[in-house]
Amino acid sequence: MPTLVENVGRRTLNLFDYVGGLTLQLGAGVRALGAALPIVGNRNRWKASVRQMMEIGVDALPMVGLMSLCAGFILAMQGASELKRFGAIRYVIDLVAVGFTRELGPLLTAIAVSGRSGSAFSAEIGTMMVTEEVDALHVMAFDPLQFVMAPKFLATLIVLPCLSTLANACGILAGWIFMFFSTNIGFGLYMRYALDSIVMHDVVSGLIKSLAFAIIIVQVGCLEGFRVRGGPEAVGHSTTAAVVRSTFLVIVADAIFTAIFYFTGMS
């Protein structure tokens, strides 16, 4: 029966092992990224990246759009119920516009992509590990990081900020629909107020967060996949772990970034 100290020690070592693995993979992944670039990289990897962009981005458009519309309505309604007590219902526009651009757009998108694509990365690579396809890549003198991970990495880095921008637009649109039925405000005036409330820092901080979330989702999903040992059951575990860990790390990273932006006066 392991003692408490042994358990704590083992878990600490596992944590260091995981963080170390993630860091090493990130370094190797950044080096492998060049292979997926157009013109200077490998043509086949770029084609794979475009396919990934379609799967991660285009296929996720309805889901991200709908989630953001719903979240926009919720935020506007919750905000309005408090703000109207002070006769400040107009500030719902600022709340939705700033809230989505800085925070909700990137975060909701990252959670959706983590659940949808992070799990798919892990399942795909995990299955390749189980069926010896990764070994086959090694013996055919391919680098699995370039072959499997680089297209996913590049695609997510490009697609996540785009999806976040769409999420922002949908959230702000939902805010207008609510405000239209509450105050009969026109779309042009609503957008003028919304754009007045947003500054460039908000947009940039949202995009920086999106890039960080993209790195987390790809690296965690791929690491969980590459660590699969055993059979199909292990693939299932790794898929669950990929979603849980990447979502957790996305929220932790969001808190850190928000704190940095807050204390440095960027927000």
Enumerate binding residues for another protein (CB under 8 A): 42, 44, 131-133, 135-136, 138-142
- Identify which of residues 11 and 138 has a Cβ nearer to another protein in the complex: 138
In the bound complex, what is the minimum distance in angstroms from residue 144's beta carbon to another protein?
Answer: 12
Compare residues 69 and 143 and give the one whose CB is closer to another protein: 143
Name the minimum Å distance from CB 54 to another protein.
14
Closer of 81 and 131 to another protein (Cβ): 131
**Residue number with CB closer to another protein (17 or 135):** 135
Least Cβ distance, residue 225 to another protein (angstroms): 15
Residues 154/36, Cβ–Cβ less than 8 Å: yes
Q: How many Å apart are CA 37 and CA 30, to the nearest integer? A: 12
Region of residue 87 (left: phi > 0; alpha: psi -120 to 50; beta: else): left
- Quote the least distance from Cβ 155 to another protein, whole Å: 16
State the Cα torsion 65-150-253-63 to the nearest 10°.
10
Cβ closer to another protein: 23 or 44? Answer: 44
| In the complex, least distance from residue 69 CB atom to another protein, rounded to whole angstroms | 34
State both tokens at 193: 């107020």
Nearer to another protein, 188 or 231 (CB): 231
User: E strands, the chain, where?
Assistant: none
Phi-psi group of 15: left, alpha or beta (phi > 0 → left; psi -120 to 50 → alpha; rest → beta): alpha
- Residue written as tokens 């999903």? 221
Nearer to another protein by C-beta: 136 or 256? 136
With contact defined as beta carbons under 8 Å apart, do 203 and 143 qualify? no
- Half-sphere exposure in the Cβ direction for 127 (13 Å, CA): 7
- Nearest distance in Å: CB 42, another protein: 8
- Cβ of residue 246: shortest distance to another protein, in angstroms? 23
Amino acid of residue 186: G
